[in-house]
Amino acid sequence: MVTAICPIVLRVHADDNVAAVGNSGGLPAGTVLPDGIILRRNVPQGHKVALRDIGVDEPILRYRAVIGHATRDIARGDWVDGSALRMPAPPSLDDLPHASGKVAALPPLRGHTFEGYRNADGTVGTRNLLAIGTTVQCVAGVVDHAARRIREELLPRYRNVDDVVALDHVYGCGVAIDAPGAEIPIRTLRNILRNPNFGGAPLLVGLGCEKLQPDRLAGTALTDLPLVRLQDESHTGFASMITAILEAADRRLAQLDTRRRETCPVSDLVVGVQCGGSDALSGMTANPAVGVAVDLLVRAGATAMFSEITEVRDGIAQLTARAATPEVADALIREMRWYDAYLERGGVDRSANTTPGNKAGGLANIVEKAMGSIVKSGTAPIAGVVPAGERADRKGLLFVATPASDFVCGTLQLAAGMTLHVFTTGRGTPYGLAAVPVIKVATHNALAERWHDLIDLNAGTIATGEASVEDVGQSLFALMLDVASGRIRSRAEGLRLHNALAVFNPAPVT
Amino acid sequence: MVTAICPIVLRVHADDNVAAVGNSGGLPAGTVLPDGIILRRNVPQGHKVALRDIGVDEPILRYRAVIGHATRDIARGDWVDGSALRMPAPPSLDDLPHASGKVAALPPLRGHTFEGYRNADGTVGTRNLLAIGTTVQCVAGVVDHAARRIREELLPRYRNVDDVVALDHVYGCGVAIDAPGAEIPIRTLRNILRNPNFGGAPLLVGLGCEKLQPDRLAGTALTDLPLVRLQDESHTGFASMITAILEAADRRLAQLDTRRRETCPVSDLVVGVQCGGSDALSGMTANPAVGVAVDLLVRAGATAMFSEITEVRDGIAQLTARAATPEVADALIREMRWYDAYLERGGVDRSANTTPGNKAGGLANIVEKAMGSIVKSGTAPIAGVVPAGERADRKGLLFVATPASDFVCGTLQLAAGMTLHVFTTGRGTPYGLAAVPVIKVATHNALAERWHDLIDLNAGTIATGEASVEDVGQSLFALMLDVASGRIRSRAEGLRLHNALAVFNPAPVT
């Protein structure tokens, strides 16, 4: 029985032997797919259908990757549900392809610019922000009060400054600051202070007796940071502390206010991408479109960063093969090993990532989820690896080694130097950051329509056939340049939706 | 040569063979102490002087505890600096005294009351607060916005409600939620929602796809919690979410507004004590005064909670000896073992707690620091042990097993049911919490004078001889009843100084 529904089947790669149903209500048994395949059962949206006969134990391919092996003979047109495939063991980190050289550099893309704030160190910001860094959470109450006062009383006088950002966090004391791994939170906080959107000279507020002393936080990278230390004898109480911070802020605001946007090549942009609240369409609509935009950025010479270790672990062979040099492949493997050991120390493994919701939505396992996540990285060679909390030291496509947690990932991408954030979501999350604009991309039309005042771009049109992945990728690239230039404010920015910094500290608290 | 300075020497216990100099400038060589001892060298403030001859390898006693063994012969009147004593090995957790029964219950104290908000479950709050709990950090931007609107638009209509508290945190997703230890953050968040200051019925805002689903957060302890789930199809975007939260808040505020304070016995009070930004006087002025107040609370039948595992680890024998029953002693030992293993897994030990500042201030090592910290617990038998994140299930003196980090400890004491917080500080910290009033006690006069608008009580008068430990303890007890009753607002409360929740998660992030 052939139905009147226009069937949408999303095949990611020509080699794949399964594809997913795009129609929002799924497709009924008997539907004839465009290439003549007849569905043998009802298949829900996001779930997979076999494109050819697959014998028992044969590999099931999606995203040109083995997402499992058939547990039984599967006929062309069958629904390939979770029980039809066996999850593979995690790929060994030995004997991986090392920069096999098959991935050629993408052709250059010229003629695109954005309007940014150029800093003395050569970096370029997308916003002109006064940042108030903190050494320790003890000072957060005072800093929050000061930031509110600055926003209300001082900021209106400095029309060229976009906002004031209080960089509160829960690190800085009551932590094993010399333990293995403690270098991660310390350098994270240091490098966030160096984020290009802060113009190269944030204020710093410290307490006095904290373990993370200002010098240790600043390292050699930050010098002459204006510092207000609350325990200094010059501060005679709360009112005095606030006065000192407001005075320091006033001086800094006057400097920031003289800055103007200037036309910059796209190569000065640093974009971080991640996905959160993923659904079955994430890997077929929004993430591939981000991949297209990432390729455009890389072709234009920009820095594009992808992350989320547990969501690339099963695709590590793809990544090492795409490494620009053997050293980059080695660095990728080193980060996977470190994280494997971190999880093992905590008594879990990579399967801690998937949720029942993922599976109900059509994702068979973490392997399939990973493949749908990795596509955000596009097709360029991987130019470098940034360990958690480090700052990117080169342009091109970079892997920033972070957990998949949205907030931990966002915080670490801020440390890496991100000046624009792209976040894809299927289930929906009202994510936002105070330090950089966040562009949110919906994976399907219903979310984009329902969350009309929270979603910046709808990639759901790919699933309905209204637009191609290439179309949406191009639109995202154009939107990135508009948002980076301040011509458009992202939804989260306009609503002042700010999630807190979540500092990754693998060491004990004490 | 006898000087004109009035020498102040602080001996904590009659058995001690060392005591500390209290004078702010220290005392010069030649000073004759009240009992005829002549100082043989200059001794800085907070540092120790020998009260009798101590032979090499003999124990050095402070707080009636062995804080080390002499590395050389020490003469009466000598400065006992860090080099004069050898830090002992951590006490074994085997063969500890088990509720030796030598600590008798303290005599009852009658006749004291406070004005509190009685809840349906029998607990009593010190404030009448609307709490908005969150399952996951994803919703924090929306909840913060809603809380601001509630405070500005709704709260003025409900004069009997003190404030609205957004319970933001960084847990809830991107975490290994089934890993060993993950029960700690989950029950912490659950029990914070049950804090008596929230009247037994907070609102809850969830996302929809988060790992920490509302049911798992609520457990069996919380039922019929009003829930706004942002991904529900009924919410058509940000404005719609805010409307839903404001409507739920309005209904809840109308209920809370009908509540009135009533006279309650002190036994309905739940006080958490901790110290932070400690100096050498913490263990001689503020902390012993807190100990006196804790004894008064326990005698009046209240719940008094002390914490900070690394700061009691070296005094564990004192604690097990004070355990009310062998089961309590076993529970104390179990918590020490768990934390020893936690530190070892992270590659550190108990010495990760002390800082160079502690040593410069006269604290020889973590043992001496611990002894000065434990005195906050007073002298009562220990009635129970509350594992991290659990809620107290009895009255009396309780050990709440938390790291010493001010914010992690405060968050876990909130979960245990604390309705009033006492925080002693020497170096000074502008600490505050949104959910309970925090009384800050200074260890010395200079801090109390300089931070006149942040410190609630000055225990420095003990060091100068103007007041006894007993005097200040009695004053603190009276202040606690005033603050608990809302007759006095603590400094942090008046200034709205709110440190963020810091949820203790010993499991991996993913």
Residue A208 class from Cβ within 10 Å (0-12 exposed, 13-18 middle, 19+ buried)?
buried
Dihedral in degrees, nearest 10, Cα atoms B165, B170, B176, B178 = -10
Q: CB B238 to CB A495 under 8 A?
A: yes
Which candidate in B209, B363, B449 is best for mutational testing of the A interface (most A CBs within 10 A)?
B209
Confidence of residue B375 (pLDDT cuts 50, 70, 90): very high
Confidence of residue A101 (pLDDT cuts 50, 70, 90): low
Q: Which residues contact B410 (CB under 8 A, 6 or more apart)?
A: B272, B274, B421, B431, B433, B499, B502
Task: Identify whether residues A163 and A215 lie together within a single domain.
Answer: yes
**How many C-beta neighbours within 10 Å does residue A245 have?**
25
Q: Name chain B contacts of A407, Cβ cutoff 8 Å.
A: 137, 170, 174
- A487 domain-assigned: yes
Residue A292 DSSP SS3: helix
Residue ending a domain, choose from B223, B256, B289: B256
Task: Identify whether residues A373 and A282 lie together within a single domain.
Answer: yes
* CATH code, domain with B61: 2.30.130.110
Residue type at A424? T
**Which pTM does this prediction carry?**
0.94
Alpha helices per DSSP H over B214-350:
214-218, 238-256, 286-299, 316-322, 326-345
Kindly state the average pLDDT of the residues B239-244: 98
Q: How far is B333 from chain A (nearest CA, A)?
A: 18
Task: Identify whether residues B351 and B227 lie together within a single domain.
Answer: no
Nearest residue on chain A to B494, judged by CA atoms? A238
Interstrand relation of B262-265 and B113-118 (parallel, antiparallel or unpaired): antiparallel
Task: Identify whether residues A19 and A152 lie together within a single domain.
Answer: no
Task: Identify whether residues A237 and A140 lie together within a single domain.
Answer: yes
Tokens 């319970």 belong to which residue?
Answer: B167
Task: Identify whether residues A140 and A13 lie together within a single domain.
Answer: no
Residue B377's nearest CA partner among B273, B474, B484 is B273
Query: Measured between alpha carbons, how far apart are the two ends of chain A, in Å?
Result: 67
Tokens 């800055």 belong to which residue?
Answer: A259
Per-residue model confidence as pLDDT tens digits over A314-351: 999 989 999 999 999 999 999 999 999 999 999 998 87
Confidence of residue B136 (pLDDT cuts 50, 70, 90): very high
Task: Identify whether residues A226 and A329 lie together within a single domain.
Answer: no
Which candidate in A373, A449, A495, A510 is best for mutational testing of the B interface (most B CBs within 10 A)?
A510
In chain B, DSSP finds a helix count (H) and a strand count (E) of 13, 21
Count of domains forming chain B: 3
Confidence of residue A4 (pLDDT cuts 50, 70, 90): low
Domain span at residue B240 reads 129-256
Interface subset of B 403-442, CB within 8 angstroms of A = 403-409, 427-432
A1 pLDDT higher than 60: no
* CATH code, domain with B153: 3.40.50.2300
Residue A7 DSSP SS3: coil
Nearest residue on chain A to B357, judged by CA atoms? A209
Look at residue B2 in the predicted model and tell me its pLDDT. Answer: 42
Tokens 């990278």 belong to which residue?
Answer: A221
Task: Identify whether residues B71 and B172 lie together within a single domain.
Answer: no
Phi/psi at A464 (nearest 5 deg)?
-90, 0
Kindly state the average pLDDT of the residues A90-119: 90
Contact of B380 with chain A, judged by CB distance below 8 Å, is answered with: no
More confident position, B464 or A99:
B464
Residue in B142, B352, B499 nearest the CB of A137 = B499
Confidence of residue B65 (pLDDT cuts 50, 70, 90): confident
Sign, CA torsion B231/B233/B239/B244 = negative
Q: CB A452 to CB B236 under 8 A?
A: yes
Tokens 């370029």 belong to which residue?
Answer: A124
Tokens of A16: 């794949």
Per-residue model confidence as pLDDT tens digits over B195-211: 999 998 899 999 999 99
- A141 domain-assigned: yes
Q: CB A352 to CB B179 under 8 A?
A: yes
Alpha helices per DSSP H over A20-154:
140-149
Q: Which residues pair with B438 in a beta bridge?
A: B421
Task: Identify whether residues B427 and B377 lie together within a single domain.
Answer: yes
Nearest residue on chain A to B506, judged by CA atoms? A508
Look at residue A5 in the predicted model and tell me its pLDDT. Answer: 67
**Structural contact between residues B396 and B380, judged by C-beta atoms closer than 8 angstroms:** yes
Q: Which residues contact B223 (CB under 8 A, 6 or more apart)?
A: none
Task: Give the rounded percent of residues in chain B with a pLDDT score beyond 70.
Answer: 98
Task: Identify whether residues A229 and A308 lie together within a single domain.
Answer: no
Contact of A508 with chain B, judged by CB distance below 8 Å, is answered with: yes
- B506 domain-assigned: no
More confident position, B65 or A181:
A181
**Structural contact between residues A409 and A403, judged by C-beta atoms closer than 8 angstroms:** yes
Contact of A349 with chain B, judged by CB distance below 8 Å, is answered with: no
Contact of B316 with chain A, judged by CB distance below 8 Å, is answered with: no
Q: Name chain B contacts of A348, Cβ cutoff 8 Å.
A: 176, 178-179, 507-508, 510
Contact of A97 with chain B, judged by CB distance below 8 Å, is answered with: no
Task: Identify whether residues B184 and B283 lie together within a single domain.
Answer: no
Per-residue model confidence as pLDDT tens digits over B278-331: 887 899 999 999 999 999 999 999 999 999 999 999 999 989 999 999 999 999
* CATH code, domain with A193: 3.40.50
Sign, CA torsion A75/A79/A84/A87 = positive
Kindly state the average pLDDT of the residues A291-311: 97
**Structural contact between residues A412 and A502, judged by C-beta atoms closer than 8 angstroms:** no
Interface subset of A 319-338, CB within 8 angstroms of B = none
**Structural contact between residues B179 and A352, judged by C-beta atoms closer than 8 angstroms:** yes
Kindly state the average pLDDT of the residues B477-482: 98
Residue ending a domain, choose from A198, A229, A256: A256
Residue in B174, B241, B430 nearest the CB of A405 = B174
Kindly state the average pLDDT of the residues A102-131: 95
Q: How far is A13 from chain B (nearest CA, A)?
A: 28
Separation between Cα atoms, residue A312 and residue A334, nearest integer Å:
14
Beta strand segments in B71-198, E: 79-80, 85-86, 113-118, 124-125, 129-134, 163-167
Residue ending a domain, choose from A228, A256, A284: A256
Task: Identify whether residues A326 and A453 lie together within a single domain.
Answer: yes
- B112 domain-assigned: no
- B510 domain-assigned: no
- A100 domain-assigned: no
- A389 domain-assigned: yes
Q: Which residues contact A105 (CB under 8 A, 6 or more apart)?
A: A380, A381
- A70 domain-assigned: yes
Query: What is the count of residue pairs from A and B with beta carbons less than 8 Å apart?
Result: 237
Contact of A243 with chain B, judged by CB distance below 8 Å, is answered with: no
